[in-house]
Amino acid sequence: MKSQHYLSSIKGSSRCLTLALAVGTLLASFAVSAASVEEVRLWRAPDHTRLVFDLSGEVEYKLFTLSNPARVVIDIEGSSLGGDLSRLDFNESPISGMRSAIRDENTLRIVIDLGAQVEPRSFTLAPNSEQGDRLVVDLYDESPSANAPRSTITNSSNSTSAPRSDERRNIIVAISAGHGGEDPGGIGYDGKLREKNITLKIARALFDQLERMPGYTPIMIRDGDYYVELQRRSEIAREERADLFVAVHTDWYRTSRANGLTIYALSGDRADRENSRRVAQKENNADLLGGVGGDLDLSSWDDDVALTLVSLQMAWSMEQSLIAGTRVLESLDGVTRLRRDKVQQASLEVLKSPDIPSMLIETGYLTNPDEARRLNTSAFQQKLARGIAQGVMNYFYDAPPEGTLVAWQKSNGIVPLPGIYMVKRGDSLSVIAQRYNVRLAELKSVNSISSNTIHIGQELTIPGVGTAEPEEHTIRRGETLSEIAQRYQVSLGSLRQANNITNDRIMVGQILKIPAS
Shortest distance in whole angstroms from residue 226 CB to Zn ion: 16
Shortest distance in whole angstroms from residue 186 CB to Zn ion: 6
d(CA 454, CA 424): 10
Shortest distance in whole angstroms from residue 374 CB to Zn ion: 17
Decide whether 54 or 283 has the Cβ nearer to Zn ion.
Answer: 283
**Cβ neighbours of 67 (radius 10 Å):** 8
> For 164, which DSSP code?
P
d(CA 375, CA 250): 9
Decide whether 232 or 410 has the Cβ nearer to Zn ion.
Answer: 232
* Secondary structure of residue 175 in the 3-state scheme: strand
> For 151, which DSSP code?
G
Contact residues: Zn ion, CB under 5 A:
178, 185, 249, 283
The burial of 387, by beta-carbon neighbours within 10 Å (0-12 exposed, 13-18 middle, 19 or more buried), is given as buried
Q: In degrees rounded to 5, what are phi and psi of residue 477?
A: -55, 135
Integer distance in angstroms from the first to the last C-alpha of the chain? 21
Q: Which residues contact 165 (CB under 8 A, 6 or more apart)?
A: none
The residue length of the chain stands at 517
Decide whether 198 or 433 has the Cβ nearer to Zn ion.
Answer: 198
Q: Which residues pair with 35 in a beta bridge?
A: 79
Q: In degrees rounded to 5, what are phi and psi of residue 507?
A: -120, 150
Shortest distance in whole angstroms from residue 271 CB to Zn ion: 23
Shortest distance in whole angstroms from residue 260 CB to Zn ion: 15
Decide whether 24 or 178 has the Cβ nearer to Zn ion.
Answer: 178
* Secondary structure of residue 63 in the 3-state scheme: strand
Shortest distance in whole angstroms from residue 185 CB to Zn ion: 4
Shortest distance in whole angstroms from residue 360 CB to Zn ion: 9
Task: Return the closest-CA partner of residue 213 out of 157, 152, 151.
Answer: 157
Residue nearest to Zn ion (CB): 249
Task: Return the closest-CA partner of residue 185 out of 137, 222, 148, 210.
Answer: 222
Decide whether 283 or 333 has the Cβ nearer to Zn ion.
Answer: 283
* Secondary structure of residue 240 in the 3-state scheme: coil
The burial of 441, by beta-carbon neighbours within 10 Å (0-12 exposed, 13-18 middle, 19 or more buried), is given as exposed
Decide whether 179 or 487 has the Cβ nearer to Zn ion.
Answer: 179
Shortest distance in whole angstroms from residue 178 CB to Zn ion: 4
Helix pair 378-398, 304-332: axis angle to 10 deg: 120
d(CA 11, CA 325): 45
Radius of gyration of the chain (CA): 27
Shortest distance in whole angstroms from residue 184 CB to Zn ion: 10
d(CA 389, CA 387): 5
Decide whether 77 or 295 has the Cβ nearer to Zn ion.
Answer: 295
Residue 85's H or E segment, with its range, is none
* Secondary structure of residue 60 in the 3-state scheme: coil
d(CA 505, CA 481): 8
Decide whether 94 or 184 has the Cβ nearer to Zn ion.
Answer: 184
Decide whether 178 or 400 has the Cβ nearer to Zn ion.
Answer: 178
Decide whether 129 or 453 has the Cβ nearer to Zn ion.
Answer: 129
Shortest distance in whole angstroms from residue 281 CB to Zn ion: 11
Could you give the maximum distance between any two Cα atoms of the chain, in Å? Answer: 92
Decide whether 31 or 187 has the Cβ nearer to Zn ion.
Answer: 187
Using alpha carbons only, give the angle 33, 35, 41 rounded to the nearest 5 degrees.
150
> For 401, which DSSP code?
P
Shortest distance in whole angstroms from residue 249 CB to Zn ion: 4
Decide whether 94 or 185 has the Cβ nearer to Zn ion.
Answer: 185
Decide whether 94 or 178 has the Cβ nearer to Zn ion.
Answer: 178
Shortest distance in whole angstroms from residue 284 CB to Zn ion: 10
Shortest distance in whole angstroms from residue 283 CB to Zn ion: 5
